[in-house]
Amino acid sequence: MELIGEIQDIIYRNEINSYTVATFETDEESTVVVGYLPFVGSGDSIKVEGKFVEHREYGRQFKVDTFEKLLPQTEAAIEKFLANGNIKGIGAATAKKIVKRFGKETLHILRDDPMKLSLISGISTKKAKEIGEEFIQNWEVWQLVGFLDKFGIGAEQAKKVFDLLGANAKEQIEENPYILIDIARGVDFAQIDKMALDLGISYDNDKRISSAVKYALIRSTYNGHACVQKQNLIDYVAQLIDVSSENVEDALINLKAKEEIVIEKRSEKEEYVYLQDFYQVEDEIAFRIKRLQKAKNVKKVNNLSKLLEKVQENSNIELSEKQKEAVNLVNENNVIIITGGPGTGKTTIIKTIIDIYESQGKKLVLTAPTGRAAKKIAETTGREALTLHRLLEIGKIDEEGMYKHNDYEGAPIDADLIIVDEMSMVDMFLMSYLLKCIYQGTKLILVGDVDQLSSVGPGSVLKDLINSGEVVTIHLDKIFRQAAKSKIILNAHRVNNGESFIPKGEKFVDEGTNEDFFFIRENSQEKVLEQVISLCTGRLKKYGDYDFFSSIQVLSPTKKGMLGTKELNKALQQALNPNTQHLPEKASNGAIFRQGDRVMQIKNNYDIYWEKEGEDGQTIAGSGVFNGEIGTITQISEKEKLVEVLFDDQKTAWYEFSELDQIEHSYAITIHKAQRKRI
C-alpha cells in the first residue's frame, strides 16, 4: 500500500546503510515507518510504499519497500523542513523569516529565483545564491532513489551510488547508464542497456561492450568463479549484446590497458580473465602465504618424538606413520595442509597437535568457516572453536556477497598456532582476511578434504593451494579400522575412485541388517518419491528407531523437479505433518506453513529478536538468526500475525507474516545447504 505524510522524528538510523526507524504523520494517523531511507530527515514529506506489520516488541509499524521524497506543502511543513538543517545556511530563525515573507511560494523561490532571498534582512546576495545552489543539489539527490529503482537498485544501494557520484548522480547515469555496473551490485543489465541504446549509444560502442564484459565477470563470481576462460567470456558477451567477437576482443584490450581486468596466460592455448580486484586478492593470498612460510620457525617445539610418545600413551592411541609425519611437518613448517577423505584420521592429528603444543605453553586457536563445522571440531577436540567470521570480527557482510576486501583491517590473532578445519569451504576473500590477521611466525594449519563441497564465495582456495605445489601438504589415504566399519565412509572413497558401491546391488532398509548405507535403485521419479516417503514415515523408525523430526534429513542435489527440494517438501509435509487438527496455518511464497513444520532460515538476519533459557534458568535475549539455521514452527498466531520458531539450538524467534520469505521448509534441503547448515 501507499502512504503520504511527513517524517516527525528519527528514532534510529544506521549511519552506514541508512536503515531508519522514524515517526510518520499522515492525514489519518501517526505511525512508525522502518526501512532504508537515505537522505530523509525530520520535517521531510515522503511517499512510501510497503505494508503494515506487527512487531513483537514495538507493535504496529509500516515496513517501507520504496519511497519518494516530496516537497512539503503547508507553510508549517516548509518552515519545519528548512529549520531542520536540510539546507545549509538556513537555521530556525532564517527559516521563519523566509516562510513569513514568501509563504507557500518559498520552495519555488528557492529552486527558481533564489536571488529574491536577499530581500530578507541578514541574507546577502552571495548567501542567497549559495542557498539556491544547495537546494537544487538536494532536490537532485531526492529524485535519485525513485530513478534507480527501475534498474533494480534499492534505497540502500542508492546511498552508495550517491556517495560515489555526488549530487548530480542522476545526470551522470543518464549520460552513461553503464557506470552503474561498476558501483552497484545486482543491477538489471538489460534495463541499463536498453536505456543506453535509447540514448543513442551504438551497439558497438566501447563503453557498452566493456560494461558487458565486467557484468559477465561479476556474474561469474556469483557461481564461485574468480576468473573466466577468455574464449568463453568472449562468446558469452558477444551473444549477450549481439556484437562480434572482434568487438569483444578490442574491449578486453582496452580494459586491460586501463587496468580494470587482468588476462593471465597459463599455457599456449589457455588464457583466463580476472576483474582486477579478484586478481589482486589471489596475488595477495600467495604473497602472504609465502611470507608466512619464510618467517623464522619460532613456534617449533623441542623433543617432539618424546612429546608425541607421551601424548599417545596418555590418550591410548597409536598414530600411523603418516599421521606422525603430519605432526612432524607441522613442527618443521609455518604453513602446512593436512588433507584426506572421511575416516583418514585428520581429527586425530588435530587433537594430537593440540595436546603437544598446549603441553609446551603454546596458545592454539581453532576455527572453521561455518557454525556446523566449528561445533563439530569443538566437540571432537573438547576445545573452543570459533567461526572465521567471529574470529576475524567480520560484521554484516553484504548479503549479495560483495566483500569490501580493501576496507578490512582486522586485529592480529593472538595465537601461536591457528588450525582451520573444513578448509574446502573457505573462499578467497575469507582467506585473505585471515592472512591479514596472522602474525609472522604463527603456525597456520589448514585441514580439509578437496572432495567436499567448495566454498559458496569465489575461489577454490584449498584445492588451488594443494595443486600449486608451493605449500607443504600431507595426503592421508588410509581408512582407519573404526571408520572402515562404516560403509558410508568406504563408499565415499569408492565414489572418488570411480568404483561402485559396497554392497553391490540393492539393499533395503526393512531387511533388518545393521548396515549404515543402503542403495535403493528405482527407474522412475515416482518410484523414488514413494521410497523416500516410505522411509520417512515408518521404515526407518522400525529399522533403528529413527524419528523423522529428530533424526532424519532428506537431501536433494536440486531445488526443481519432482525430486527437487520444493516438491519433496510439499510431499513430506503432507505425509508427516498434515493439518488434521485444523490448527492455524499461513500461506506464503507458494508454501503453507503449519505448526510442527521443520523450517530453515535462508538469509542472514542480524536484527531478528530471540529468547532462550540459560543454564541458570534465566531467560537470555539476543538478536540474529543466520542462513542455514534449522528449527520447528511451534505456533502461528493470526491475531498477532506472528510465526514462532524454536531453533535446534533452543532459541525461539518470532517472524512477522511479512518476514516469512526468510524461511522455507526443511523436510528436504539441498546438499549445499546440508554442507553449511548451522546446527
**pLDDT digit string (tens) for 370-408?**
777 888 899 899 999 988 888 887 754 444 444 455 555
Contact partners, residue 474, CB within 8 Å, separation at least 6:
322, 325, 326, 329, 336, 337, 338, 339
Kindly state the cell numbers that stand for 481.
Answer: 579400522
For residue 167, name the pLDDT band (cuts at 50, 70, 90). low
Residue among 132, 70, 143, 69 at smallest CA distance from 106: 132
Kindly state the cell numbers that stand for 18.
Answer: 541508512
For residue 303, name the pLDDT band (cuts at 50, 70, 90). very high
3-class DSSP state for residue 304?
Answer: helix
| b/e per residue 470-494 (b: at least 16 CB within 10 A) | ebbbbebeebeeebeebbebbbbbe
For residue 616, name the pLDDT band (cuts at 50, 70, 90). confident
Per-residue pLDDT at 344: 86
Tell me which amino acid residue 530 is: E
For the segment 517-536, the average pLDDT, to the nearest whole number, is 92
CA torsion 148→604→447→441, rounded to 10°?
70
For the segment 270-275, the average pLDDT, to the nearest whole number, is 95
- More confident: 491 or 435: 435
Q: What is the pLDDT of residues 221-260, one digit of tens each?
A: 878 899 999 999 999 999 999 999 999 999 999 999 999 9
Model-level pTM?
0.71
Per-residue pLDDT at 678: 41
State how far the Cα of 679 lies from the Cα of 396, in Å rounded to an integer. Answer: 20
Least confident of 364-378, 480-494, 502-516: 502-516
Tell me which amino acid residue 273 is: V
What are the DSSP calls for 94-110, one per residue? HHHHHHHHHGGGHHHHH
Task: Indicate the average pLDDT of the chain.
Answer: 86
Longest dimension (CA), the chain: 97
- More confident: 604 or 476: 476
Q: Cα dist. 265→221, 228, 273 in Å?
A: 20, 12, 9
Kindly state the cell numbers that stand for 609.
Answer: 529478536
Q: What is the pLDDT of residues 21-53, one digit of tens each?
A: 999 999 888 999 998 887 788 778 888 888 998
Helix ranges, 456-504 (H)? 461-468, 481-484, 487-496
Contact partners, residue 430, CB within 8 Å, separation at least 6:
369, 388, 389, 392, 455, 457
Helix (H) or strand (E) holding 596, with range, is none
Return the bridge partners of 600, or none.
Answer: 630, 664
Q: Helix and strand tally (H, E) in the chain?
A: 26, 25
For residue 16, name the pLDDT band (cuts at 50, 70, 90). low
Structural contact between residues 569 and 589, judged by C-beta atoms closer than 8 angstroms: no
CA quadruple 446, 452, 458, 459: dihedral positive or negative?
positive
Least confident of 58-72, 310-324, 422-436, 642-656: 58-72
- More confident: 60 or 255: 255
Most confident region among 88-97, 104-113, 568-577 by mean pLDDT: 568-577
For the segment 342-348, the average pLDDT, to the nearest whole number, is 88
Rg of the chain on CA atoms, in Å: 30
For the segment 120-135, the average pLDDT, to the nearest whole number, is 87
Helix (H) or strand (E) holding 492, with range, is helix 487-496
For the segment 66-70, the average pLDDT, to the nearest whole number, is 80
Per-residue pLDDT at 141: 64
Q: Which burial class, exposed, middle or buried, applies to 45 when counting CB atoms under 10 A from its CB (0-12, 13-18, 19+)?
A: buried
Residue among 357, 349, 422 at smallest CA distance from 385: 422
Residue 554 dihedral angles phi and psi, to the nearest 5°: -90, 130
- More confident: 660 or 16: 660
Structural contact between residues 528 and 556, judged by C-beta atoms closer than 8 angstroms: no
pLDDT at 507 over 60: no
CA atoms within 13 Å, Cβ hemisphere of 548: 21
Q: In what order do the strands lie in the sheet with 630-637?
A: 619-625, 605-613, 652-656, 642-647, 630-637, 598-601, 663-665
Least confident of 247-251, 362-366, 437-441, 448-452: 448-452
State how far the Cα of 67 lies from the Cα of 92, in Å rounded to an integer. Answer: 27
Kindly state the cell numbers that stand for 369.
Answer: 568457516
Least confident of 138-152, 328-342, 651-665: 138-152
